[in-house]
Structure 1
Amino acid sequence: MIKKAFWVSLLVFVCLISSLWFFAPRAEAFTKEQKLFLQSWRIVNRSYVDESFNGENWWFTREEFIKKPMRDRQETYDVIEEMLALLDDPFTRLLRPKAYKSLQVNTSGELFGVGLQISLDPQNNLVEVITPIVGSPAESAGIHPRDYILEIDGVATSTLTLDAAAEKMRGPVGTTVFLTVENHDRDADSIQTLAIVRDRITLNPVYANLDERNEKAIGYIRLSEFSAQATQEVAHAIMDLNAPAYILDLRNNPGGLLQAGIETARLWLDDGTIVYTVNRQGTLGSFEANTRSLTDAPLVILVNQGTASASEILSGALQDNGRAVLVGETTYGKGLIQSLFELPDDSGIAVTVAKYETPNHTDINKLGIEPDFVVEQEPIAFSQVGTKVDLQYQKAIELLTSKRLVADAV
């Protein structure tokens, strides 16, 4: 009887395995488009910071989405974007080939367009301006941080992905794009349509000069973006200025390369933690200052609502380590880290892989960093930086020329 039961059980087991083999999709059965979709799914499955995937059953999502029509590359991209939308994370997104190439250019040198750094407001899904690039057509047109871009050439941005919106604003030098903008003060009558002529946008991340108008010289360094050259350019500025005190201007700096932010912090710190990272398992990692700083001169950092991402990592590191005093307004509040993954067709996926905390274990996501001295002011043009209307700059000068700040820094 026991022997008979054994053979029956074995037969059932073999039949079950056979049926699973028969019904299971085989790798060779997938089309080229499905394989691209599956590669995208696997990248998110391995790397995404939220192991609950925003409450989605990620394996079930795979089985459901693989059945969708993917007859050409555009349909495949649409399916991938539909899948990523389930995560409700505007920073985890597909970068189609043009957008992926543009992002690589953006972090390495120059681009052609209106000169806006944009994000997606998770509260209302609108395209929001982080900052216009200094000297760009967008800045000249009067677009400010926190403005909303409602339409691009008559197309509602609510119907576009973030990268599609960026792509529509890029284009050949001399061409015109029409942007419908809601002003940052959110007044009911603040919506206007602007005709902006595209231009070549040079992304030189650093501007520096020695301000000798006060009782002691102040080295002023403006860092507009954490591109591949940012750390090297800041280092050159520190050494060339050789000032007894510094202002580091991170206002309207939207971030960029994480490593550039960490390396720039090391220029100012001899030791101490720069940032903590927290992955999907809750594992804590850290980046430390491990080289001698280039200067120990007193430092004030200027920040505002457009100071985001890697800029907040740098600001938080120097504030928490007591290396710098922050002046200005509460920062943007982007405490998430993305990694870029290249796909075989020259597209890519940006995936949120971790959260970060400042050295004091402060989670600033959606909260921002509070400056030591809050000084609010209306947006000013680059030509007005350092003048009497730049109240934040004037506060920095006041602090750097006071005996108290110098004593604290020493």
Structure 2
Amino acid sequence: MVINRKRLVFGAAAVTLLTITVTSLGVHSQGQALFKGSPKELVDEVWQIIYRQYVDGTFNQVDWQAVRREYLDKNYSNKQEAYKSIRTMLNKLNDPYTRFMVPQEFKNMQVDTSGELTGVGIQIGIDNETKRLIVIAPIEDTPAFKAGIQAKDIIIKIDGTSTEGMDTNHAVSLIRGKVNTKVTLTILRNGKEEDFRIVRAKIEIHPVRYSRQSTPQGPIGYIRLNQFSANASKEMRGAIKNLEKNKVLGYVLDLRGNPGGLLYSSVEIARMWLSQGTIVFTKSRFGDREREVATGKSLTKKPLVILVDRGSASASEILSGALQDNKRAVLVGSKTFGKGLVQSVRPLNDGSGVAVTIAKYFTPSGRDINKQGIIPDIKFKMTIEQRKKLWLKERKTVGTLADPQFAKAVEILSEKITTQYSTSIEKSAR
């Protein structure tokens, strides 16, 4: 099975983040020829995509043939009626990540690869169990982040409109808006409701920032990766090369709050740290396995510790899971989000689009990340107050020894550096 990796995304529906490359499918059937040019053709086009590509051959225990008969027996006087039926049809799959987008929604989803966008700066999804609208993660240094929105927050209202039963596309359309306009998100957190009034802004995102940190053990490289966008691997490569020139002894890679992004970006970055071994493999409903492996071109072999938390999702879980399974890195923090499904985004004939779950991904050892998440090697949680203090009040201390989780990572890294250094001396003495 050949997969065009650049059009695959990991993570829930994005308010602002994902960079998506799409290709046309060209699905046609005898039935579609009969409906050509009619709203019914669009309904059948979506049905065909699901029929041919959906990850579960049982269609989540739904008689998909019967669904086709039901929805093609209907008469549609306009596209709006067809759109409504398509959404109802897809809801039968009970999969929040397989979703339909009208032309404007589809256009909004195709975020410019430059990483420049307008909005509040969060990724949202539908919780599989509660069916509530949930924050995957706020993007660093955006209005939502500065307002105090956190991963796992439940959005119960948008400008006073209840989100009960609302899909992510509708939520996106309500949250987005012009620069300097305001939107109020009513958040449910730990059983308490709170309103967050946020001013929309133009956001320029640079996925990587890094620094050379002085520690008692010696200089180490700190790299924070905020998202797996189209330019993330290029920025990561530059960061590692620069830090290598500065003679760091080891690295801390910070994936906290990173909600994911593009598959190929996570694979390219994994290859910078890993010399050999499997990075990730995906399984479709046909039993096909697509495996990504290291290429022997890692940029460094120095010790690595990765910071993760509940906001580390999808592509973050691919990278951290790959390096953990290959014993290339030690993971410190708390359990990750748990999102292990692959979506392909398809344009439709009228300019609308559909995102369809086509595969599940697994770590090199075969772990199914979906719903389970990645368990760190060293569990080190912060209290709610510690998180607020670090991320909202004292942001400049993130990635310094005043950051409790970073300090723990440095402690673990120091042990690894000492062990590696001792091993090198021992080999030299032989």
Decide: shared fold, TM above 0.5.
Answer: yes
- Spell out the pairing of 1:245-394 with structure 2 (5 A cutoff): 245-377=250-382, 378=384, 379=387, 380-381=390-391, 382-394=395-407
- Spell out the pairing of 1:125-204 with structure 2 (5 A cutoff): 125-183=131-189, 186-187=190-191, 190-204=192-206
Do residues 114 (structure 1) and 95 (structure 2) align?
A: no
Q: Distance in 2 between matches of 1:353 and 1:291?
A: 29
Instruction: After superposing the two structures, state which structure 1 stretch, 380-389 or 42-51, moved more.
Output: 380-389
Deviation at 1:26, TM superposition (A): 7.6
Q: Distance in 2 between matches of 1:25 and 1:235?
A: 50
Do residues 399 (structure 1) and 415 (structure 2) align?
A: no
Q: Distance in 2 between matches of 1:29 and 1:343?
A: 15
Give the direction of change, closer, same or farther, for the CA distance of 1:126–1:251 in structure 2 (3 Å limit).
same
Q: Distance in 2 between matches of 1:29 and 1:142?
A: 50
Among residues 77, 83, 92, which one is paired with 1:71 in the alignment?
Answer: 77
Q: Percent identity?
A: 45
Deviation at 1:100, TM superposition (A): 2.1
Q: Distance in 1 between matches of 2:47 and 2:356?
A: 11
The aligned amino acid for 2:224 is R
Tell me, yes or no, if the aligned pair for 2:213 and 2:400 is still in contact at 8 Å: no
Deviation at 1:75, TM superposition (A): 1.9
Q: Distance in 1 between matches of 2:215 and 2:78?
A: 63
The aligned amino acid for 1:60 is A
Give the direction of change, closer, same or farther, for the CA distance of 1:244–1:99 in structure 2 (3 Å limit).
farther
Q: For 1:55, what is the secondary structure of its paired residue?
A: coil
Unaligned runs of 5+ in 2: 1-29, 425-430
Q: Distance in 1 between matches of 2:112 and 2:165?
A: 24
Give the direction of change, closer, same or farther, for the CA distance of 1:328–1:38 in structure 2 (3 Å limit).
same
Q: Distance in 1 between matches of 2:64 and 2:418?
A: 53
Unaligned runs of 5+ in 1: 1-23
Tell me, yes or no, if the aligned pair for 2:209 and 2:223 is still in contact at 8 Å: yes
The superposition leaves residues 174-195 of structure 1 with CA deviations (integer Å, 9 ceiling, x where unpaired) of 0011111112xx23xx201121
The aligned amino acid for 1:286 is R
Q: Distance in 1 between matches of 2:107 and 2:153?
A: 26
Among residues 223, 226, 230, which one is paired with 2:225 in the alignment?
Answer: 223
Tell me, yes or no, if the aligned pair for 1:272 and 1:288 is still in contact at 8 Å: yes
Q: Distance in 2 between matches of 1:347 and 1:265?
A: 34
Q: For 1:353, what is the secondary structure of its paired residue?
A: strand
State the aligned residue count.
383
The superposition leaves residues 359-410 of structure 1 with CA deviations (integer Å, 9 ceiling, x where unpaired) of 1111121011100000001333143312455221111111112257743997
Q: Distance in 2 between matches of 1:290 and 1:50?
A: 31
Tell me, yes or no, if the aligned pair for 1:298 and 1:406 is still in contact at 8 Å: no
Tell me which of the two structures has the higher relative contact order, counting C-alpha pairs closer than 8 angstroms and 6 or more residues apart: 2
Deviation at 1:230, TM superposition (A): 0.8
Tell me, yes or no, if the aligned pair for 1:245 and 1:297 is still in contact at 8 Å: yes
Q: Distance in 1 between matches of 2:303 and 2:401?
A: 22
Q: Distance in 1 between matches of 2:273 and 2:369?
A: 22
Q: Distance in 1 between matches of 2:32 and 2:401?
A: 70
Deviation at 1:282, TM superposition (A): 2.5
Q: Distance in 2 between matches of 1:29 and 1:293?
A: 53
Tell me, yes or no, if the aligned pair for 1:267 and 1:294 is still in contact at 8 Å: yes
Tell me, yes or no, if the aligned pair for 2:222 and 2:399 is still in contact at 8 Å: no
Equivalent in the alignment of 2:243? 241
Equivalent in the alignment of 2:54? 48
Q: For 1:236, what is the secondary structure of its paired residue?
A: helix
Q: Distance in 1 between matches of 2:122 and 2:175?
A: 9
Q: For 2:316, what is the secondary structure of its paired residue?
A: helix
Give the direction of change, closer, same or farther, for the CA distance of 1:346–1:384 in structure 2 (3 Å limit).
farther
Q: Distance in 2 between matches of 1:383 and 1:63?
A: 59
Instruction: After superposing the two structures, state which structure 1 stretch, 68-77 or 140-149, moved more.
Output: 68-77
Tell me, yes or no, if the aligned pair for 2:32 and 2:44 is still in contact at 8 Å: no
The superposition leaves residues 266-289 of structure 1 with CA deviations (integer Å, 9 ceiling, x where unpaired) of 111111000121110233331111
The aligned amino acid for 1:399 is I
The aligned amino acid for 1:275 is V
TM-score (norm 1): 0.89
Do residues 33 (structure 1) and 39 (structure 2) align?
A: yes
Q: Distance in 1 between matches of 2:103 and 2:418?
A: 50
Deviation at 1:89, TM superposition (A): 0.5
Say what the alpha-carbon RMSD is for the aligned residues.
Answer: 1.9
Equivalent in the alignment of 1:13? none
Q: Distance in 2 between matches of 1:267 and 1:259?
A: 13
Q: Distance in 2 between matches of 1:291 and 1:33?
A: 51
